[in-house]
Amino acid sequence: MKEFAVKLEKLAEELLDLFCENIGLEKGYLKKAFYGAKGPTFGTKVSNYPPCPTPDKIKGLRAHTDAGGIILLFQDPVVGGLQLLKDGEWVDVPPLRHSIVINLGDQLEVITNGKYKSVEHRVIAQTDGTRMSLASFYNPGSDAVIYPAPALVEKEAEEKNKQVYPKFVFEDYMKLYARLKFQAKEPRFEAMKA
């Protein structure tokens, strides 16, 4: 598991550099933004979703966005249930063996000033089979100060857009998120402005 975690963390950092390249930030910018005093945090969570004989009476894992940075998800290769919200419609994410679903969290949305959006997703209950997933989270350090990248804000100012995301300490956002996880992200961002 330690070797696995080290490789996934490295993959997350490589993806962050690709995101930087894609939107015109210097290589390493996102990793630095996540750093804080002791570096970014990385953790893995295993989830088990047993079969449900009456899926119409249960919500499964309710719709939410993830609070952190980048999420690397190994989903069950047989039993589905993961859905994401795209253009107001819930779309199934089919299980694919030996693949990683990449999900973006709220912190990437803030740092990229909305160029990347955190993805609202849910897991619906299934009648056939137990669904397992393994999610690894690459998040900012608790004391990291999160705010839109100045280079992106300057570029948007030239295009007559304005900075819409607040500046805050990640740990403060997490305290708010713990209470409001299953609500829309926009009020969380507004609360952090205050």
Interatomic CA distance for residues 44 and 116, integer angstroms: 23
Task: Give the per-residue pLDDT at 1.
Answer: 85
Specify whether 98 is catalytic: no
CATH number of the domain enclosing 34: 2.60.120.330
Q: State yes or no: is 121 an active-site residue.
A: yes
Token representation of residue 167:
């500046």
What does the alpha-carbon distance between residue 180 and residue 92 come to, in Å, rounded to a whole number? 25
What does the pLDDT profile of the chain (194 residues) look like in tens digits? 889 999 999 999 999 999 999 999 999 999 999 999 999 999 999 999 899 888 888 877 899 999 999 999 999 999 999 999 999 999 999 998 899 999 999 999 999 999 999 999 999 988 988 999 999 999 999 999 999 999 998 866 666 656 689 999 999 999 999 988 888 898 899 899 87
Which neighbouring-strand residues pair with 90?
85
Q: Considering the candidates 31, 115, 121, 185, report the single residue annotated as catalytic.
A: 121
Residue written as token pair 């713990």:
178
- The reported pLDDT for the residue numbered 76 is 92
Domain that holds residue 49: 1-191
64 is catalytic: yes
Q: Within a 10 A sphere around the Cβ of 162, how many other Cβ atoms?
A: 9
Question: What domain count does the chain have?
Answer: 1
- DSSP-derived letter for residue 127 is S
Predicted pLDDT at 55: 84
Catalytic (active site) residue 66 = yes
